[in-house]
Each structure stands twice: as structure tokens, then as C-alpha cells.
Structure 1
Amino acid sequence: MPLQDHMQIISVDDHLIEHPRVFTDRLPKKFLAEGPRIVEDEQRRHVWHMEDNVFPYIGLNAVAGKTPEQFGMEPLRFDDMIPGCYDPVARVADMDVDGVQAACCFPSFPGFGGRVFMRAKDKELGLACVRAWNDFSIDEWAGSAPDRFVPLAILPLWDVELSVAELRRVAAKGAKTVSFPDNPLPLGLPSFHSDDWGPLWDVFEDTGIPVSLHFGSGSFVPGFSASASALAPGASTEFKSISTRLNAAERAKDEAPSAVSFILYSTNLMWSTADLLLSGQLQKHPGLKFMLSEGGIGWIPYIAERADWVWERHRYYQPIDFDTRPSDLLRKHFWGCYIDDRFGLKNRYEIGVDRICVEIDYPHSDSMWPNSRKTIAETLVDVPDDEAHRIVELNAREVFDFPRR
């Protein structure tokens, strides 16, 4: 049966494509020459330049309006995208067509968690870019339709004190969530087990803002074989050396198709969740909330059961909390979301109906736009109306503190 008319869909995971003026309109003049700017390359593609690096928009980042037969990895021009990818007014019109009330939109060019700015050679420029993106996200994108966009921010993760200051600044501006790496280690940052993040977790607790852990935001993507995995952050020096000796034909022959990583994307957030459950940080920061963005939900009951099994047998000789069951921490601190996860919905009582949200993923390749409301209704056909309402709207409004206007 269709979703009831009073049920508004809130997507906890959408994406925006930054338009060419996001940074040139906001950065101080001294940063414009080295700061992010769109350039047309020799193939007439639109690519971002920042310092001496080039970042194209890959085709799968903006496939809204295309059929699967038209998907591809080639770099894009803005002409190749429908305006809803980069124009918030057009996005609202696309959401109306899709039957979606509101969306939380993650970055594209900076990386889902802002890692591009973290790697800036000029850290003053990197900080200015973080602030410029946040001002764009909160003031321009979300500000264009405050009842339709959940304001999201990123942080200057290379410096905890700067991150604390920026979190307080964006909280005052109205940010409702912050994108944080699903695994800080591949970025050269302290792990979830480190107390280094403590001052930042304190502010998340004080403000009530949930931490959004988006698949791939820590730069690691699972599933690629041979050369691709060898060149990934964190790969051993020896493995990278072997890879560089292979010629292009040999590398291409040994690589897995990217579809392997699309199948395995939820494993990133399985790792993140297990890591956090045994980190000790949830006991030190009982008010922390984590949204697992673009990770599915079907795996959550298994991880809860497995974590408890391991905890019962291995907590005696390791620095693991002796008294708190991991499944209890999972139930208290984590929310998940899905696009089309029938297995997860069948096990919703094991997950917690109040811990499940939906995602649309516009304009990425998993998105069902412009048929999202129909698709979500089909997944919930056997779910009671009160539970369906929680899943599509109420849970997201509560965790993001994003009430109806």
C-alpha cells in the first residue's frame, strides 16, 4: 500500500554537487589563485583545481535522470548533469517529483568527510575552504529552503582544537549534523580508540548534534583487487612497489570491477561500528549519536550478536569494558538507513524500529529517483503504518532535531 499522505520522507543521505562559485564567492582574495576553482581541461571536461591537484566529477556522482545503461565513470561537465545536482531550487523541484520532503546532502568535491581540504599543503587555505563549504551548505544550500534541507557541515580534522571551534561555529549557524570519516586511520588521523577526539566528542554531546559516518569518507573503499587496492591509502609500501612495476595491461587484467565495492559498501560501516563499540569512547561520552549513512541495515543484528559473543569470551584479558554489552551500546548510540533492504526490515525489531531511517542517495547511482516514494512504500508494504511513519520521517526528525515547520 502507498505511504499515507501525512508521512513525509526525510532522506538522511543525499549528495550535492558544488557549483563553480562556491569557493570563489567566499574565500579571501589571497586564496583565490590556489583555492578550488572549476577549469575546462583539454577534453572540455569541467574539473576542480586546488593548489597543484586536479579533481574531476566522476560520472556516477551525478546520474540522476539517466538509466543504468547510461551510467559510467567518465568525468563530467555541468552540462551533463540535471540542474538538481548543483542548484538547490531545482533540487527541491526534483524532490517534489520524487515525493521526498527533506534531505541531508553530503559534499562531493571535498570528499564525503572533507578529506580534500585536510590534504591541502597550505593548512590556512584548507581551513578557509572548510569554512567556505560550511557557509555554502548552511546559508545557501539549506538556507534556500530551510524546511527541505537538513544542514550538514564538515570539520578541519587535522586539528582537534580547530575542529572544536568550527563545530561550535556551525552549531550556532544551525548545522544539524556533521560528516566525519567512517575510519580516521587511513587519513593519518587518530583512531576511534584514541582520547585525542575527546574534546570534539564533548562538543557533539553538548550540542546534541549527531555524527554522520558516510561510507568511504575515510578514503578507503573495499573490494578492489591487485593494483587498485595496492594504491589505496594504508596499503603496504612493499605491495605498492610491486604494483608500480606492473604495466597498465597487467593491472587492468587483475583489477576487480568497481561493482565489487558497490556490493561491499556496508562493510565499511560494519568496521566503524565494531571499532566504536569496543573503543571505550561511548562509555566516556554517553550522549554521542552516530548516523550510519549509506550503509544499509541488514547487517546490524548480526554485528550485535557477534559483538556480544566476542565480548563474553574475550573481555577478560583485553582493555574492553567489562560491564556494558556491545549490543546495548549499539542500540543506544547508532542509527542506520536503507534504500532497498528487505532483509533488514524483516529484522527491524532486532535493530529497533526507532533506529531505522531511509535514504534517497540522489543523484548517485543507487538512487531510485524519480520513483523513491513508490519504492520505499513497496519495502514497507508489510510494516504497520505507525512503524512506517517512524522509519520514513519521525526517526530522522528526532535524531537531527529537525521538526516540521
Structure 2
Amino acid sequence: METTETESTRNAQTPLNPADFPQIISVDDHTVEPPNVWSDRLPKKFRDTGPRVVRAPLKEMTFLGGKFAPVMGNPGDDGPIGDWWVYEDLHRPLTRLDTAVGYDRDEIKLEVITYEQMRPGSFSVPERLADMDVNHVQSALCFPTFPRFCGQTFTEAKDRELGLLGVRAYNDWMVEEWCGPEARGRLIPLTLVPLWDPELAAAEVRRNAARGVRAVAFSEIPPHLGLPSIHGDEWDPFLAACAETGTVIAMHIGSSSKMPSTSPDAPPAVGSTITFANCCFSMVDWLMSGKFERFPELKIMYAEGQIGWIPYILERADVVWEENRGWGGVADKVRKPPSEYFADHVFGCFFDDAFGLKNLDSIGVANVLYETDYPHSDSTWPKSKEVGEAQMGHLAPDVVERIVRGNAIDLLGLDRDGCWRP
């Protein structure tokens, strides 16, 4: 039987030269919002109730069973001092896990910090660009910190008027300042939507698309937030807006406010090992939802979910679709094998997944994107280039180029230099 080489295994004859490793476009980094993001933008009547930073002691803090539970002390109380975001009843401290780059692994602990105790590149554009230069990064798409990964903070708030203004203020800061002229096209905007109202969400997608935004954050499993699943019609206005404007739906691990765990007393290491699990569940939801039939231009991506798990899930989904069509509940809306929808609509993102790269042919070169996760504790900064070289050394140079930057350029509508141009 005749055999053929696959795209990713041709490299046996053409090894990657480390000096030629392409400049990275990271599709999953993070920004720590400066203290004035909302105080500078909310109407005057909301400035005392909207998000603001207070310096206060920590009374206690736990992170067990996937649940983060900090308690803010009163001025004068004993305890380590940190900067806290205060908004309605929420008290959310900045922690070392929010911005861990530059620290030894053994020094990274769950502790409160102040802005002065974090690396300035976490919140300042010039310092961020400098840290990107150190890390061989051309451009970066950044998820939020205080709003959480898809704006859950505003979704859970009581005052909907203030919540909507908070979402819009964040988006204005993201587009006009974080990704503004000072960033020189190297920071790529990712915006939020008011998840509690799909019509308002659609309007916000279109408002931002009109100024060049091509990515919006969304929840991997909306029912965990008390919101409708994607199997009904409730999200259709939002999905239609994304499809019409070419806006990619970006879902970060933890964007359902429920990190995978096994028990209430499981240590964080358990959840950290299985962080991909919600991405796995979410992708099956989307593949079996029929939404890619109804919205053929729709694209979704999974940030920090890694990619090694994808081949088996696609194989299993195809088997279920074929063998359980009589009672599986999807025969009328999922008209071809789920793996075919994956190829056209779904993108996996990784920063450290040697196993996934060894099985790239079962995933698809066009469906894989690279990330650095700056400034989080899992980040490969400042060695993202070296990690990429070590894990992609078996791949052809053109395949590495696509994974490290080419696919992101196409997906996010960047120019050929990898920059965002509004």
C-alpha cells in the first residue's frame, strides 16, 4: 500500500533551526487592570459604588475544591496587606497567582499583594511590551483579571445598569488604552459582553467590531453561571452577531467560575492537573449543539485548555454520533460527524503540551494556537521560545510558523506582521 508523509512529519528531512523560531503571537495572556479603569470612565453617580481599589489586610484565604475564598480585614487589623478590588459586596484581592512571572516556582504562593509587588508589565503597556520582547513575543491577546475571564464579576452583580456600564468601560479601556497607540498594534483586544442579556451582548459585539475588535470572551459552560446552555435558542442573537462580524468566541479555563475538582477538600494541585476538563465538556456541547450548522461562519477557541485530549474526544464524538443517532437527540441538527465541525470551527490553545504536538495529525495543524499565559504562575515566560523549540523540534518549519503565529493572524484578522490594526 502506498504511504504518504503528513504535513507535520516531513521535518525528518528539514529540522527546525532554533535561530529561525518565529516570533510568537500569544492568544492567551492576561492584563491586571490599573486601579483607575472604572473610576475614570463610570458616570459620577457610580464612582463610589463601581469597581475601585482599596488597600487592606487579609483576614483569611482558602483555595480548596476549586473555590477561591478570600476575606478582607478592617483597617488596623493584623494580617498581610494587599490591594483589593471592591465592588458591591465583592472583595477581591490581587494575589501572587495573578502575576507570578519573575518569581521562583517555590516562591509562588497564594498570598495577597499590592501593585508595587507585581511585575509592572502586568498592568503597564510599555513594560508589557518590554517583557514581550524578552520572551520573543510579537503580539498578545489578553484576558481580564478583576472582571474574571468572561466578565462574571459584572454578571453576578445586583445593579444591571452599573454592570452594563462596567462592561462597556472595560471594553473602552481595552480598545483605547491597553491596545491603544502606545501598544503599536502589539496588544490585541479581547472584549466582554453583558452575559445576562443576549440582545445587549449582540449589540456590544457589534459596537466593538465596528472599531476593529475580533475576539470576545464567553463562558465555557454558561449554566454554571446560572445562564442558559448553548443547546437552546437564547444565545442566538449573540451568536449571530459574532458570526456576522467575524468575532471569535474565546473561552478560557475557569470562565464558568467552577474549576474542575473532585471534592471540596481537594488541594489546588488536583484542579490544576485537570484544568482542561471543562474545555472538554464545553467542546462536546458545541459539537452536539447544531450551532455550527445554523451559524456556519462561527469560530470558537479554548484558551489554556491544552490540546492533547482533543483526538480522543473527537473520535468518541464521531462514534456516538454514528451509533446513537436513533436516540442521541442530535440527528436532526448535527448533520455530519462532529470532527468535521471541529476542523472548520474550533481552535485549541496550548503553552506546554508535548503529547498534543506528537499527535498533531489527529488534531489538525490549522486548529492549534500558541500562548504564553503571561503573567500567571503557569506562564512559560521568559522561556516561551525555548519551550516551543523543545516541543516543536520534530515539526516542519512551515507547520511551526502556522502554530506559533500564522493561525492566529488568520483567526484574529491581524496584518501580515502579526499586529492589530483597528
Partner of 2:365: 353
TM-superposed CA distance for 1:374, in Å, is 1.3
Q: Give, in whole Å, the separation in 2 of the partners of 1:53 and 1:297.
A: 34
Partner of 1:208: 246
Partner of 2:354: 342
Q: Identify the match of residue 192 of structure 1 among 230, 238, 242.
A: 230
The percentage of aligned residue pairs carrying the same residue is 44
Summarize the Cα distance change of 1:5–1:148 in structure 2 as closer, same or farther, 3 Å threshold: farther
Note the alpha carbon deviations across 1:136-164, whole angstroms, 9 max, x for none: 11111111314211111010010111111
TM-superposed CA distance for 1:271, in Å, is 0.4
TM-superposed CA distance for 1:352, in Å, is 0.7
Partner of 1:327: 339
Q: Give, in whole Å, the separation in 2 of the partners of 1:191 and 1:51.
A: 27
Partner of 1:127: 164
Structure 1: which 5+ runs fail to align? Answer: 227-254
Partner of 2:55: 40
1:177 aligned to 2:226? Answer: no
Structure 2: which 5+ runs fail to align? Answer: 1-15, 58-79
Q: Give, in whole Å, the separation in 1 of the partners of 2:226 and 2:399.
A: 41
Contact 1:105 1:150 in 2 (8 A): yes
Contact 1:23 1:129 in 2 (8 A): yes
Contact 1:278 1:321 in 2 (8 A): no
Q: Give, in whole Å, the separation in 2 of the partners of 1:277 and 1:162.
A: 25
Q: Give, in whole Å, the separation in 2 of the partners of 1:153 and 1:40.
A: 28
1:80 aligned to 2:92? Answer: no
Q: Give, in whole Å, the separation in 2 of the partners of 1:219 and 1:52.
A: 17
Partner of 2:152: 115
1:318 aligned to 2:328? Answer: yes
1:24 aligned to 2:24? Answer: no
Q: Identify the match of residue 362 of structure 1 among 334, 349, 374.
A: 374
1:155 aligned to 2:193? Answer: yes
* TM-score, normalising length: structure 1: 0.91
Partner of 2:298: 288
Partner of 2:309: 299
Contact 2:28 2:304 in 1 (8 A): yes
1:95 aligned to 2:110? Answer: no
Partner of 2:266: 256
RMSD: 1.3
The one-letter amino acid of 1:386's match is D
Contact 1:2 1:374 in 2 (8 A): no
Q: Give, in whole Å, the separation in 1 of the partners of 2:311 and 2:124.
A: 39
Contact 1:224 1:257 in 2 (8 A): no
Q: Give, in whole Å, the separation in 1 of the partners of 2:81 and 2:280.
A: 40
Q: Identify the match of residue 7 of structure 1 among 22, 26, 31.
A: 22
TM-superposed CA distance for 1:3, in Å, is 4.3
* TM-score, normalising length: structure 2: 0.87
How many residues in Structure 1 have an aligned counterpart in Structure 2? 377
TM-superposed CA distance for 1:4, in Å, is 4.9
Note the alpha carbon deviations across 1:9-65, whole angstroms, 9 max, x for none: 100100010111111111111110100000011343100001122111222111011
Contact 1:18 1:108 in 2 (8 A): yes
Q: Give, in whole Å, the separation in 2 of the partners of 1:166 and 1:134.
A: 9
Q: Identify the match of residue 318 of structure 2 among 293, 304, 308.
A: 308
Contact 2:252 2:304 in 1 (8 A): yes
> Which structure: greater helix fraction?
1
- Secondary structure, in 3 states, of the residue corresponding to 1:282? helix
Q: Give, in whole Å, the separation in 2 of the partners of 1:56 and 1:23.
A: 16
Partner of 1:231: none
- Secondary structure, in 3 states, of the residue corresponding to 2:379? coil
Q: Give, in whole Å, the separation in 2 of the partners of 1:147 and 1:132.
A: 21
The one-letter amino acid of 2:206's match is R
TM-superposed CA distance for 1:371, in Å, is 1.1
Alignment of 1:234-245 (within 5 A): none
The one-letter amino acid of 1:396's match is A
Note the alpha carbon deviations across 1:317-360, whole angstroms, 9 max, x for none: 23203531111111111011111111111111111111111010
TM-superposed CA distance for 1:376, in Å, is 0.9
The one-letter amino acid of 1:177's match is A
TM-superposed CA distance for 1:109, in Å, is 0.4
TM-superposed CA distance for 1:6, in Å, is 7.4
The one-letter amino acid of 1:116's match is T
Q: Give, in whole Å, the separation in 2 of the partners of 1:146 and 1:167.
A: 23
The one-letter amino acid of 2:252's match is H
Q: Give, in whole Å, the separation in 2 of the partners of 1:273 and 1:130.
A: 26
